[in-house]
Amino acid sequence: MGMTMTQKILAAHAGLKSVTAGQLIEADLDLVLGNDVTAPVAIHEMEKVNKKGVFDKDKIALVPDHFTPNKDIKSAEHCKCMRDFAMEHEITNYFEIGEMGIEHALLPEKGLVVAGDAVIGADSHTCTYGALGAFSTGVGSTDMAAGMVTGKAWFKVPSALKFELTGKPAKWVSGKDVILHIIGMIGVDGALYKSMEFVGDGIANLSMDDRFTMANMAIEAGAKNGIFPVDDKAVEYMKEHSKKEYTIYEADEDAEYDETYAIDLSTLKPTVAFPHLPENTKTIDKVGEIKIDQVVIGSCTNGRIDDLRIAAKVMEGKKVAKGMRVIIFPATQDIYLKALEEGLLTTFIKAGAVVSTPTCGPCLGGHMGILAAGERAVATTNRNFVGRMGHVDSEVYLASPAVAAASAITGKISGPSELGL
């Protein structure tokens, strides 16, 4: 029996010729990630068992991004804990405020993850790096602690779902619309502890930023990971950003999949996920009249340069609706600088939006964009659970940067076509 991409990567990192779905393995890790919420817990777990050292100071990444710049004393203490640990252990890839970004945009940008890697992170959206053909998955802080000490992690080898993508997306249809369509189709538990493997000639029509978005939200379908084959675009991205050697794994022709789904990208429309689950999707033509109070464009899902370019294209020369709060979060300092140099930030500010330093803040209801009772937001983030961005009586609608930007202008959930674009 053949193996999937994910199974091949896990087999290689476990030192085995082959693995099968359901098999328990111990795999070597190429990178262990933590942030200011999860890393302090892992550090305290290490202290409990009196473990002083780390397995490799070059293979640990610590990124303060969730409650930074520090929103209160508690968050400042968490960041200090992580900072002190990084200094004590001489962690190479510790990123302070001025050089950091939202972790899942930052690590690929810094070249820390490449094809064939096995990565764990104490954050559920670590699955983002599957866009590069890596196996990456979220774990708990205890597993992160063990990973930092041993450089290894236990896994149950996942079975897989195959998504055959064909065709070319229409104008204003992005990777966010594709993954929302898929989650709407299979549900938030449709890929539970499975690998979502994206294949087909349609992938060539998706940018790397589209792919990062799709892999990022694999967890919203319950998946263990999402992964893309390594094509010329992925290779070009890695060569531009990384000096690490990469390994390309391809699924065997006789690899076994639990289900195969065929998706013609040319048939998809801009898609919105209604409260309070990412599976509650409607295409933009079925949304109806829904007034909103806030728009958030950013996050580890949609804060990359392509996302900001799309949003600026929609907002250029226009003004946000009266009373509307529009907050733009470039995902990294480098993306922020590019957006500044390209004039995108000028477009946003002239339209009436505010632009923030990179942070996860509003996505998890942390800071810099909290919703009050009864308020509604359109967000390019990844989750819209009850109370996700603030009060339990608020509502979050997930959408692409194009839809979010158009909604900011009209004051209600809208597609760019409603602006004549």
Strand partners, 263: 165
In angstroms, the Cα distances linking 67 to 36, 38, 129, 206, 326 are 7, 11, 23, 32, 20
Half-sphere exposure of 124 (CA within 13 A, CB side): 11
Name the residue among 147, 154, 155, 300 with its Cα closest to residue 218.
300
Phi-psi region at 30: left, alpha or beta (left = phi > 0; alpha = psi -120 to 50): alpha
Residue that the structure tokens 């659970």 belong to = 385
Helices 208-216 & 175-186 angle (0-180, nearest 10): 30
Enter the DSSP assignment of 332.
B
Residue that the structure tokens 């998504």 belong to = 163
Q: Is the alpha carbon torsion for 21, 26, 30, 31 positive or negative? A: positive
In angstroms, the Cα distances linking 315 to 9, 82, 349, 390 are 42, 39, 10, 26
Strand-by-strand arrangement of the 259-264 sheet: 225-227, 194-199, 159-166, 259-264
Phi-psi region at 248: left, alpha or beta (left = phi > 0; alpha = psi -120 to 50): beta
Name the residue among 407, 356, 353 with its Cα closest to residue 380.
407
Q: Is 79 annotated as a binding residue?
A: no
| Residue 368 token pair | 């810099």
Q: Where are the beta strands (DSSP E) in 200-304?
A: 225-227, 259-264, 271-273, 281-283, 294-297
| CB of 306 closer than 8 Å to CB of 169 | no
Q: Is 360 annotated as a binding residue?
A: yes
| Residue 73 token pair | 């004393």
Q: Is 127 annotated as a binding residue?
A: no
Annotated binding site for [4Fe-4S] cluster: 300, 360, 363
